[in-house]
Amino acid sequence: MGKKSIIVAIDGHSSCGKSTMAKSLARKVGYVYVDTGAMYRAVALFALRNSLLTPEGGVDEERLRRRMGEVEISFSLDPQTRMPRTMLCGEDVEAEIRTMEVSNLVSPVAALPFVREALTRQQQAMGLKKGIVMDGRDIGTAVFPDAELKIFVTASAEVRAQRRYDELKAKGQEVCFEEILQNVQERDYIDSHRELNPLRQAEDALVLDNSHMTMEEQDAWLMEKFNLRTQE
């Protein structure tokens, strides 16, 4: 009997290793991987680059709304790593969307209903043929409420801040742990309290707290769930 092709929705708090496990699963089973956080980050970068900001440094909602039609997001496969790189209007912005400047603006941008509607539509189109692993905040609740496998990942804020700190340090960025912890906590708050499609666990999601798990352990956990769901 052939295995059925499914949609895997991976949601959870920021910096808890969702994308690492999502990428790893996609690579092993030959599925397409989509990082929806990268799409929200690309919109935030667009706002920054075009100075669509209020005098206080927040996002200028009206001006972004008027220019939203210009925001073209796509992914191109890196020939070496076989991993998707985020493109904004045809330009590779994979590194730039991971800076603190973008991280600080992305949650308010992701709370804007016209931004969520535009990106949700694109994400749904990407999943039409199934065979996809998508990670984000509202994949199992809003983008694909009928996804065959839904995972909700979480870990303590301190563990998550430490992981992001190590990641940025490894890339040579000057970072302060306290600032990162604050950013993680602020984003948790905004992501869980926004009006439209807040971060919440879908009723039928399997919960994974990976605070004390190694990467290998979480990969094995996910693979087992995937195998069970595709063999049903």
Is the distance from CB of 86 to CB of 35 less than 8 angstroms? yes
Cα torsion angle, 47, 37, 202, 167, sign = negative
- Reference 200, options 7, 11, 35; nearest CA is 11
Residue among 199 and 222 whose Cβ is closer to ligand DC: 199
CA distance 86 to 72: 11
- Reference 162, options 12, 13, 15; nearest CA is 15
From the list 26-34, 67-75, 136-144, 148-156, the region that binds ligand DC by CB under 6 A is 136-144
Beta carbon of residue 175, minimum distance to ligand DC (angstroms, whole number): 15
* Interface with ligand DC: number of residues (CB under 6 A): 13
Beta carbon of residue 110, minimum distance to ligand DC (angstroms, whole number): 4
Q: How many CA atoms lie within 13 A of 121 on its CB side?
A: 6
Residue among 156 and 227 whose Cβ is closer to ligand DC: 156
Structure tokens, 118: 């535009």
Residue among 36 and 154 whose Cβ is closer to ligand DC: 36
Structure tokens, 84: 């998707």
From the list 35-43, 49-57, 168-176, 220-228, the region that binds ligand DC by CB under 6 A is 35-43
Residue among 211 and 227 whose Cβ is closer to ligand DC: 211
Q: Does 110 bind ligand DC (CB under 6 A)?
A: yes
Is the distance from CB of 140 to CB of 147 less than 8 angstroms? yes
Q: Does 138 bind ligand DC (CB under 6 A)?
A: yes
Choose which of 7, 23, 34, 37 interacts with ligand DC (CB under 6 A): 37
Window 180 to 219, contacts with ligand DC (CB under 6 A): 187, 191
Residues 6+ apart with CB under 8 A from 19: 35, 37, 135
Interaction site with ligand DC (CB under 6 A): 14, 36-37, 40-41, 106-107, 110, 136-138, 187, 191
